[in-house]
């Protein structure tokens, strides 16, 4: 167990032992015990068990430290998309009676920084259906069905081998596709009209197309996409932190702050607002610089006849759109 991990656990247990929790003794004891067990499981490499116990504790105590620790264990399991969701939850939690000193504000700041590092590692997959479309056509990834309105758009997935299934009537087409961290991939799947259904056996890994193979002549396009990924991550963090900061500022005004003056009892809330404002500013700066550098590298890349580049930032994902 690292020194930092021990400190986090001691701080969390100190929080749960505080009478300010406003919860029954049984609840306090159970949350404390779950947190201790989860730390032991995580140190032993049982990350899935640690996540289950931390989630149980989180249902009883909505604090950033628990949400951040869930995200960290999910990252160790390779579940990056789910980890991003919990990092965002840690950022969005409002201060309550469970918060003690600067512990939770620090956890929020760490969640924002770790989220910014994690976003560029996410993979992006777009399934392109080659064949006559139909109302009963469905696409699923790892047994999770993709909404019909997103079936042929790029969505965020975990790196690694993803199992994609395309169904239309009695036809079933399956593919396994391996995605590297930060990779954007288009997967072509064919449906033949009036043909017998394809067998359900998994297909070999989809090979890289010529268009997606790294150029031997120049690494400039690769650098351009990496810069765009960093820029998109910065913009996402800046936007998220900015929205939360605006909500906190509005709440401070509602509770009595006027003309940049707040009661001394609000110092913790003011510090939380200032930290989020700093994270937002840094995020936008990184996003602007990264996006500008990426677009410049792609547009000036040699041996490219046409480049279309775009960045999409949604409430729960960041997507780069582009093609050559």
Model confidence over 265-290: pLDDT tens digits? Answer: 656 766 676 776 677 677 667 666 66
For the entire predicted model, the pTM comes to 0.54
Cβ 163 vs Cβ 141: under 8 Å: yes
Q: Do domains 3-120 and 122-211 have the same CATH topology?
A: no
In 3D space, the residue among 186, 237, 211 whose CA is nearest the CA of residue 304 turns out to be 211
What is the rounded CA–CA span in Å between residue 151 and residue 108?
A: 34
Instruction: Give the count of beta carbons closer than 10 Å to the beta carbon of residue 39.
Output: 21
Q: Check residue 11 and give its pLDDT.
A: 45
- H-helix or E-strand containing 313? strand 308-313
Q: Check residue 92 and give its pLDDT.
A: 93
Token pair belonging to 48 = 């899935």
Vertex 183, ends 177 and 188: CA angle to 5°? 45
CA distances to 155, 232, 259, 308 from 237, in Å: 18, 9, 28, 24
What is the rounded CA–CA span in Å between residue 159 and residue 273?
A: 34
Concatenated DSSP letters for 165-200?
A: EEEETTEEEEEEEEE-TT-EEEEEEE--TT-PPPPS
Tokens 């965020």 belong to residue = 156
Q: What is the DSSP letter of 318?
A: E
The tens digit of pLDDT for each residue in 96-134 reads 777 777 888 999 999 999 999 999 999 999 888 887 667
Residues ≥6 apart with Cβ < 8 Å to 66: 12, 35, 54, 57, 58
For domain 3-120, give its CATH number from 3.40.50, 1.10.3470, 1.25.40, 3.40.1350. Answer: 1.25.40
Residues ≥6 apart with Cβ < 8 Å to 145: 138, 139
Vertex 242, ends 241 and 248: CA angle to 5°? 90
Q: Check residue 49 and give its pLDDT.
A: 95
Q: Exposed, middle or buried by CB within 10 Å (0-12, 13-18, 19+), for 3?
A: exposed
What is the rounded CA–CA span in Å between residue 290 and residue 311?
A: 11
What is the rounded CA–CA span in Å between residue 12 and residue 257?
A: 30
Q: Check residue 239 and give its pLDDT.
A: 76
Q: Exposed, middle or buried by CB within 10 Å (0-12, 13-18, 19+), for 173?
A: buried
**Can you name the CATH fold of 122-211?**
Immunoglobulin-like (2.60.40)
What is the rounded CA–CA span in Å between residue 168 and residue 136?
A: 6
Q: Check residue 272 and give its pLDDT.
A: 74
Q: Check residue 243 and give its pLDDT.
A: 72
Report percent pLDDT > 70 for the chain.
Answer: 57
What is the rounded CA–CA span in Å between residue 75 and residue 118?
A: 9
Q: Check residue 252 and give its pLDDT.
A: 62
Q: For every one of its 324 residues, what pLDDT tens digit does the chain have, with 9 covering 90 and above?
A: 444 444 444 445 444 444 334 455 787 788 889 989 999 999 999 999 999 999 999 999 888 999 999 999 999 999 999 999 999 999 999 887 777 778 889 999 999 999 999 999 999 998 888 876 677 888 889 988 888 776 678 888 999 999 999 888 888 999 999 999 999 999 988 876 644 444 544 555 555 555 555 444 567 677 666 766 776 776 677 678 677 867 766 766 676 666 556 666 656 766 676 776 677 677 667 666 666 666 676 666 665 444 444 444 444 444 444 544
Domain residue limits, the chain: 3-120, 122-211, 220-323
């Amino acid at each position: 167990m690292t020194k930092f991990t021990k400190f986090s656990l001691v701080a969390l247990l100190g929080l749960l032992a505080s009478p300010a929790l406003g919860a029954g003794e049984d609840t306090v004891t159970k949350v404390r015990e779950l947190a201790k067990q989860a730390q032991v499981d995580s140190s032993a490499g049982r990350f899935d068990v640690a996540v289950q116990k931390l989630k149980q504790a989180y249902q009883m105590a909505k604090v950033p430290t628990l949400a951040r620790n869930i995200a960290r264990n999910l990252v160790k399991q390779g579940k990056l998309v789910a980890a991003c969701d919990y990092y965002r939850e840690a950022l969005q939690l409002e201060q309550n009676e469970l918060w003690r000193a600067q512990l939770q504000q620090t956890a929020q700041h760490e969640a924002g920084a770790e989220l910014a590092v994690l976003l560029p590692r996410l993979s992006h997959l777009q399934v392109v259906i080659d064949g006559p479309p139909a109302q009963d056509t469905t696409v699923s990834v790892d047994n999770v069905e993709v909404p019909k309105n997103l079936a042929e758009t790029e969505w965020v997935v975990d790196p690694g081998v993803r199992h994609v299934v395309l169904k239309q009537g009695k036809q079933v087409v399956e593919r396994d596709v391996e995605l590297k961290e930060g990779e954007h991939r288009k997967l072509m799947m064919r449906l033949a009209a009036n043909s017998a259904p394809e067998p359900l056996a998994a297909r070999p890994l989809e090979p890289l197309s010529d268009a997606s193979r790294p150029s031997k002549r120049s690494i400039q396009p690769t650098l351009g996409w990496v810069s765009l990924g960093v820029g998109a991550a910065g913009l996402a963090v800046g936007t998220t932190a900015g929205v939360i900061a605006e909500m906190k500022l509005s709440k401070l005004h509602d509770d009595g702050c006027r003309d940049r003056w707040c009661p001394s009892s609000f110092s913790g809330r003011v510090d939380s607002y200032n930290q989020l404002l700093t994270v937002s500013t840094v995020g936008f700066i990184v996003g602007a610089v990264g996006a500008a550098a990426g677009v410049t590298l792609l547009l000036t890349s040699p041996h490219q006849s046409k480049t279309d580049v775009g960045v999409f930032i949604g409430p729960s994902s960041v997507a780069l759109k582009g093609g050559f």
